[in-house]
Amino acid sequence: MNPKQESKKAILAGIRIGIVILLIFMSAGSSYYSVSEQQNAVVTMFGELVRTDTAGPHFKFPFIQKVRKVDMTTHGIGIGYAVAANGQNIVVPEDGVMITSDFNLLNIDFYLEYKVSDPVAYLFNTLDPEDILTNITLASIRTTVVNYTVDEAMTTGKSQIQAEIKSLIAQELEEHNIGMQVVNITIQDSEPPTQEIIAAFKAVETAKQSADTAKNQALQYQNERIPAAEAEADKIVQDAEAYKSARIAEAEGQVARFNAMYEQYELNPLITKKRMFYETIEEVLPDLKVIITDGGTQTLYPIEQFSSFTTDTTAREVQ
């Protein structure tokens, strides 16, 4: 073998040794990692969770294990406003404008402080935990502010509102299990909204008041008509009851009268029959004229001329 070939083989062997040494150093460098005091590290292998590491140096298998570091410090976000590049706050009306219990509008801003409580849940339970936290916070704020008047929300009720919102957010985060926790939430500012929003709200409130007025008028008419109808119905019922009582009393009187007549009839049937006959004739023909004739004479004798006779004589003649 000539010197040129030997030199070539030596170069190739050196290159191979260098590559091996480089790979060894690369493997050693990727096998060790350090976690700061403000972090947690989540180690996975083939997509499966292996462990969670806290602050300090740690070892992992190169190439097959991956490490994702999570910041565990407290962060803050504005609700109802955004921070511009120049550092000034910009109002976000769709998030900051709230309605109060006395139907007033209020532009109220909050500052939310939060941190990661479970790095595994934070990484794997949802794609965007911060966005979910923001939505939960907005819902909790609106649910709470609507229970307070505008004066309470701007002055005396701030502490109570903050405490209730924090409690609601904590409950929702526990249910959703996104690996985050609320540290604190404070009201930054509260003031009436812009004139355009106020005008729109007044228009809505005017329409609502008109609807309430129409409803109240309908209720007033109902309250006036129902008692009158009930009184009329009571009068009809009372008249019917009175008529019923009168008819029953009349029927009972007639029954008593008939029973009394029947008792007399049993004692003297013939006399009772005649008396009933005469009474009936008097009722049916009260203006009857009586004429006495022998069938052959043409002379008429009015019964009124004999009316001077005594009752006893008339009774004897009738008998």
Whether 48 and 89 share a structural domain: no
Residue 193 vs residue 296, higher pLDDT: 193
Question: Coil, strand, or helix at residue 316?
Answer: helix
pLDDT, residue 171, reads 95
Rounded-to-integer distance, Cα 190 and Cα 161, Å: 12
Quick one: pLDDT band at residue 33, thresholds 50, 70, 90? Answer: confident
> Is 295 inside any structural domain?
no
Q: What angle do CA 78, 161, 163 make, to 5 degrees?
A: 85
Final residue of a structural domain among 158, 193, 228? 193
Q: CA dihedral in degrees (272, 275, 279, 282; nearest 10)?
A: 160
Question: Coil, strand, or helix at residue 37?
Answer: coil
Query: For 32-127, where are the alpha helices, taking DSSP H only?
Result: 93-96, 119-124
pLDDT, residue 154, reads 86
Q: Do the Cβ atoms of 98 and 149 come closer than 8 Å?
A: no
Helices then strands, counting H and E runs in the chain, come out as 9, 11
Mean pLDDT of the chain: 82
Q: What is the pLDDT of residues 204-251, one digit of tens each?
A: 778 878 888 899 888 888 888 888 888 889 889 999 999 999 999 889
Whether 89 and 171 share a structural domain: yes
Q: Do the Cβ atoms of 301 and 291 come closer than 8 Å?
A: yes
Residue 45 lies in domain? 3-71
Q: What is the pLDDT of residues 101-111, one digit of tens each?
A: 988 888 899 99
Whether 250 and 217 share a structural domain: yes
**Type of residue numbered 1:** M
Q: How many domains does the chain have?
A: 3
- The whole-model pTM stands at 0.55
pLDDT, residue 299, reads 58
Whether 13 and 109 share a structural domain: no
Question: pLDDT at residue 192 above 80?
Answer: no
> Is 33 inside any structural domain?
yes
Q: What is the pLDDT of residues 55-100, one digit of tens each?
A: 999 888 887 889 999 999 999 999 988 877 777 777 787 888 888 9
Q: Which two tokens stand for residue 162?
A: 């903050």
Q: Do the Cβ atoms of 81 and 109 come closer than 8 Å?
A: yes
Final residue of a structural domain among 71, 94, 120? 71
Kind plus residue range of the DSSP H or E element containing 197: helix 195-267
Whether 127 and 212 share a structural domain: no
